[in-house]
Structures are given as structure tokens and as C-alpha cells.
């Protein structure tokens, strides 16, 4: 057993709270860590509900007062899985209290708030990571390794699509993800942020963008109750104040071109997070709905053998896969959170830079914001480069 402990305070206990709790419950059992994560305290606005959650998931304490929790002497790391509107306030308070910070995406709604968060963690000298969990799927990490090794040559195109269908029914009731004040944006920030991070991770920085967004269903039944991406209707109706769909073009700093599409109105697509990267020597294709597979085409194959091959990234030789099950035993959504938690613990213990960190999170927000600027101006917009 590790000789030291890392006490975790988690803010938020619904959809993401479950995913993060599962990560902290399992990470020390599968990975050989140099500190033992301790599920110290879970926080939420409904004290009774969060107490029930704590008992079910194994948190030692629960609280309806996150401000006090992040200042506790027995808390080392603050994990933020609450809605985006709360990220900046919590992260800054945690950093000022000397706590390491793990934050869900998008980091913030604006570049201005992202910069404040980045400045706070830098000034405090604490570790900071944004949970772009798809980086931690073994097949995606393998794609990064292959690109860095020159397997597909000079990158020329990247196509990203993130398609869901949970809002296709106009009678689906409102929840916080459709309110601008709580969510910041709709598919653009919720789904597009993941695509932008994967693009930066695999292809490089984005210099310029031009885009468009649309809200197709402008009014929905008012919210009664909601949990994750499920809801029941209350009385009356409510205006939707975020986008249903977002599309934009991008120019990468390395000369590659990119296309990005995000929507929650694509019938039949449940969590179709997909990229295709075309280089001078080959192509790579990945989709989260088949997350353990990476499709690879190489122009160097003999003419009689050319075609896409499917790599199953479940062998111990692949990133993260060796910590889990025997070859061919597939990983799922929750494993990407545990993989991130493993890296974060080791980065804290060994005083290493985290990735993606708040700088990455802020740069992602800069791309999201530049798309909005391009829509307002009707022309290409330059992406601010965060220092």
C-alpha cells in the first residue's frame, strides 16, 4: 500500500459526480499509485441528496457548503464536476486555499474567466488538470503516439463530428444544459469542446475559425425534475437559450484544415464522437462508440494489401490498457476517468506537469469563443493564443 494519502473533495454529485466517484473508487485498485486516493468529502446544493449519494458511493463526509469543504485542512485535491457556471468560482477558491484542482470541461464560459482560473492555479503553485477524458481512451493515446512517430506523415485534414440525439424530441423537457446562464452554450461548448481538445491533442493549435450555430427547437416543456440527460416535465414551457447545433471550419497552425460539427439533434447517434485524420502517408479514424478500435490506413502497404486495418487497443502494450483486463476484454466510458485520475495522482506525487492543464482548457475556450466571434462578424476570426 502507498505510504501517503491524497484526500479528495468532489463538488457535484449527479451524472459527472457518478463518473468521478467511480474513478476514485477504482483507480487505486487497478493502478500502482504512489499515493492512496481517499474519498474524503462530496459536496452538492441539496444536503440530504448529497448525504445519500455519499453513503452509496463511499464518501467519508458530505456537505451542502463547498466553500467550507475546500478550505478543510484534510483536503488535498478539489475535483469539480458541477455545471460550468460554477467552475471559475470554485477553482479559484480551491487554488487560493492551496488545493490541487481537477475540473470538468469546458474550463469556463469565457476566455476572461479561463485566464483568471489559470492565473490562480499558477500563483498558488498547485497542480491543475481539465478532464478531457477522451484523451485517455487507449486508442486515442495510441493515435497520438503514431502521429508523433510520423506514421501518417504530414497532417493535412482533420474531421471531427460529435453527434447525439437525446434532444430530438421537442417534448423533451428543459434542464440546465439548455440554459445559457448555467451551461454557457449548447452543443458547441458541451460537445464541441471535446472535439477541439482532441484536435489540439492530435493535430496542433488552431489559428483561425469560421462557423455557424442554430437552435432548431426554441421552446420546450418546463423542467420538473432532471438527472443527467433525463428529465420530466413541469408546468408550462421555457425558452431554450443555447444552440442545438454548431458547425465550423478551422485552419491549423501547421497548415492543416479542419471541419467540426456538434449536435444533439442527430437521430440514431447516441454518443458519436468521431475523428478522421488524413496525412501524407496514411489516415487514422476513431469513434467513441467503438472506443477500443483505431482504424489505420498506410500508403506504404503493398498495393495488393492496402486498406484500412483495425487495431484493437486492448493489449498491455497500448496506453493504459495494461492496468485493466486481459487482451480483448474491452474498456468502457468509466475507464477513461480512472485513467485520468491515475495520471493526476502520479503527477501530484512526483511534481510533474499535468496534461491537459488549465492552459489547455483556456486555449479550448479561446477556440469556442473565436467561433462565436466569427458568427457575429460573418467572417473568419483569429483564435487568441493564451500565454
286 and 251 in one domain?
A: yes
pLDDT on residue 357? 98
What value does the mean pLDDT take over residues 264-289?
Answer: 98
125 and 60 in one domain?
A: yes
Whether this model's pTM surpasses 0.85: yes
Confidence of residue 166 (pLDDT cuts 50, 70, 90): very high
User: Can you tell me the distance from the alpha carbon of 48 to that of 272, in angstroms, rounded to the nearest whole number?
Assistant: 36
Place of cell 467572417: 379
Confidence of residue 284 (pLDDT cuts 50, 70, 90): very high
Grid cell in block for residue 387: 500565454
Total domains in the fold of the chain: 2
Give start and end residues of each alpha helix (H) in 70-178: 87-96, 111-124, 138-148
Q: Are 67 and 94 in contact (CB under 8 A)?
A: no
Concatenated DSSP letters of 35-71: SEEEEEEEE-S-HHHHHHHHHHHT-SEEES-HHHHTT
Q: Is residue 175 part of a domain?
A: yes
Q: Is residue 353 part of a domain?
A: no
Of 127-136, 179-188, 225-234, 249-258, give the lowest mean pLDDT range: 225-234
193 and 124 in one domain?
A: no
Of 133, 153, 184, the residue at which a domain comes to its end is 133
Share of residues in the chain with pLDDT > 90 (%)? 97
User: Can you tell me the distance from the alpha carbon of 27 to that of 37, in angstroms, rounded to the nearest whole number?
Assistant: 8
User: Can you tell me the distance from the alpha carbon of 292 to that of 274, in angstroms, rounded to the nearest whole number?
Assistant: 13
Residue 278 has pLDDT above 90, yes or no: yes
User: Can you tell me the distance from the alpha carbon of 267 to that of 258, in angstroms, rounded to the nearest whole number?
Assistant: 24
145 and 108 in one domain?
A: no
Give Cβ neighbours of residue 3 (< 8 Å, ≥ 6 apart): none
88 and 28 in one domain?
A: yes
3-state SS track over 62-93: EECCHHHHCCCCCCCEEEECCCHHHHHHHHHH
pLDDT on residue 227? 75
Q: What separation, in Å, do the N-terminal and C-terminal C-alpha atoms of the chain show? A: 40
Residues linked to residue 179 through DSSP beta bridges, in sequence order: none
pLDDT on residue 226? 79
Phi, psi (degrees; rounded to nearest 5) at 290: -135, 60
User: Can you tell me the distance from the alpha carbon of 252 to that of 204, in angstroms, rounded to the nearest whole number?
Assistant: 7
Residue 93 has pLDDT above 70, yes or no: yes
Residue 230 has pLDDT above 90, yes or no: no
Of 133, 153, 183, the residue at which a domain comes to its end is 133
Q: Is residue 23 part of a domain?
A: yes
Show the domain range for 126. Answer: 5-133
Of 71, 105, 133, the residue at which a domain comes to its end is 133
Residue 209 has pLDDT above 90, yes or no: yes
User: Can you tell me the distance from the alpha carbon of 347 to that of 355, in angstroms, rounded to the nearest whole number?
Assistant: 9
Q: Is residue 341 part of a domain?
A: no
Confidence of residue 225 (pLDDT cuts 50, 70, 90): confident
320 and 186 in one domain?
A: yes
Residue 228 has pLDDT above 90, yes or no: no
Give Cβ neighbours of residue 122 (< 8 Å, ≥ 6 apart): none
User: Can you tell me the distance from the alpha carbon of 189 to that of 15, in angstroms, rounded to the nearest whole number?
Assistant: 17
Q: Are 175 and 226 in contact (CB under 8 A)?
A: yes
Confidence of residue 313 (pLDDT cuts 50, 70, 90): very high
Query: What value does the mean pLDDT of the chain take?
Result: 97
102 and 166 in one domain?
A: no
pLDDT on residue 229? 77
C-alpha 138, offset from chain centre: 15
Which of 120, 100, 365, 159 shows the shortest CA–CA distance to 279?
159
Q: Is residue 41 part of a domain?
A: yes
Q: Is residue 349 part of a domain?
A: no
Residue 1 has pLDDT above 70, yes or no: no
User: Can you tell me the distance from the alpha carbon of 8 to that of 69, in angstroms, rounded to the nearest whole number?
Assistant: 10
What value does the mean pLDDT take over residues 230-241?
Answer: 91
85 and 193 in one domain?
A: no
Q: Is residue 342 part of a domain?
A: no
174 and 260 in one domain?
A: yes
pLDDT on residue 336? 98
The CATH number assigned to the domain holding 300 equals: 3.30.360.10
166 and 40 in one domain?
A: no
262 and 236 in one domain?
A: yes
The CATH number assigned to the domain holding 113 equals: 3.40.50.720
Burial group, residue 227, by CB count within 10 angstroms (0-12, 13-18, 19+): exposed
Of 167-181, 216-230, 284-298, give the lowest mean pLDDT range: 216-230
165 and 127 in one domain?
A: no
Q: Is residue 343 part of a domain?
A: no
Q: Are 297 and 258 in contact (CB under 8 A)?
A: no
What value does the mean pLDDT take over residues 166-174?
Answer: 96
Q: Which residue has the higher pLDDT, 385 or 225?
A: 385
Of 88-102, 181-195, 219-233, give the lowest mean pLDDT range: 219-233
Quote the crossing angle between the two packed helices 111-124 and 87-96, to the nearest 10°: 10
Share of residues in the chain with pLDDT > 70 (%)? 99
Q: What is the pLDDT of residues 314-345, one digit of tens each?
A: 999 999 999 999 999 999 999 999 999 999 99
User: Can you tell me the distance from the alpha carbon of 322 to that of 368, in angstroms, rounded to the nearest whole number?
Assistant: 35
What value does the mean pLDDT take over residues 111-119?
Answer: 98
Amino acid at each position: 500500500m502507498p505510504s501517503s494519502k491524497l484526500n479528495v473533495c468532489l463538488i457535484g454529485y449527479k451524472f459527472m459526480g457518478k463518473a468521478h466517484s467511480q474513478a476514485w473508487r477504482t483507480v487505486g485498485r487497478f493502478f500502482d499509485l504512489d499515493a492512496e486516493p481517499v474519498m474524503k468529502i462530496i459536496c452538492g446544493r441539496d444536503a440530504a441528496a448529497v448525504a445519500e449519494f455519499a453513503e452509496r458511493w463511499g464518501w467519508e463526509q458530505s456537505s451542502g457548503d463547498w466553500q467550507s469543504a475546500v478550505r478543510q485542512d484534510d483536503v488535498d485535491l478539489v475535483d469539480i464536476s458541477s455545471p460550468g457556471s460554477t467552475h471559475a468560482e470554485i477553482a479559484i477558491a480551491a487554488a487560493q486555499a492551496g488545493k490541487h484542482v481537477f475540473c470538468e470541461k469546458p474550463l469556463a464560459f469565457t476566455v476572461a474567466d479561463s485566464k483568471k482560473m489559470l492565473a490562480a492555479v499558477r500563483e498558488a503553485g498547485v497542480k491543475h488538470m481539465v478532464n478531457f477524458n477522451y484523451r485517455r481512451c487507449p486508442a486515442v493515446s495510441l493515435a497520438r503516439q503514431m502521429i508523433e512517430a510520423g506514421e501518417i506523415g504530414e497532417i493535412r485534414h482533420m474531421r471531427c463530428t460529435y453527434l447525439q440525439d437525446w434532444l430530438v424530441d421537442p417534448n423533451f423537457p428543459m434542464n440546465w444544459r439548455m440554459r445559457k446562464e448555467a451551461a454557457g452554450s449548447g452543443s458547441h461548448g458541451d460537445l464541441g469542446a471535446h472535439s477541439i481538445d482532441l484536435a489540439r491533442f492530435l493535430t496542433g493549435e488552431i489559428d483561425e475559425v469560421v462557423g455557424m450555430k442554430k437552435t432548431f427547437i426554441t421552446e420546450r416543456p418546463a423542467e420538473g425534475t432532471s438527472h443527467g440527460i433525463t428529465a420530466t416535465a413541469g408546468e408550462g414551457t421555457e425558452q431554450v437559450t443555447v444552440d442545438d447545433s454548431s458547425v465550423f471550419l478551422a485552419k491549423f497552425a501547421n497548415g492543416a484544415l479542419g471541419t467540426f460539427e456538434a449536435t444533439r439533434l442527430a437521430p440514431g447517434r447516441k454518443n458519436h464522437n468521431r475523428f478522421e485524420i488524413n496525412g501524407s502517408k496514411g489516415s487514422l479514424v476513431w469513434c467513441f462508440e467503438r472506443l477500443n478500435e483505431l482504424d489505420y490506413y498506410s500508403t506504404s502497404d503493398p498495393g495488393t494489401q492496402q486498406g484500412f486495418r483495425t487495431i484493437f487497443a486492448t493489449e498491455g502494450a497500448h496506453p493504459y490498457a495494461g492496468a485493466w483486463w486481459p487482451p480483448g476484454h474491452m474498456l468502457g466510458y468509466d475507464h477513461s476517468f480512472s485513467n485520468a485520475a491515475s495520471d493526476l495522482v502520479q503527477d501530484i506525487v512526483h511534481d510533474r506537469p499535468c496534461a491537459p492543464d488549465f492552459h489547455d482548457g483556456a486555449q479550448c475556450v479561446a477556440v469556442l469563443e473565436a467561433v462565436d466571434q466569427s458568427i457575429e462578424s460573418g467572417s473568419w476570426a483569429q483564435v487568441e493564443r493564451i500565454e
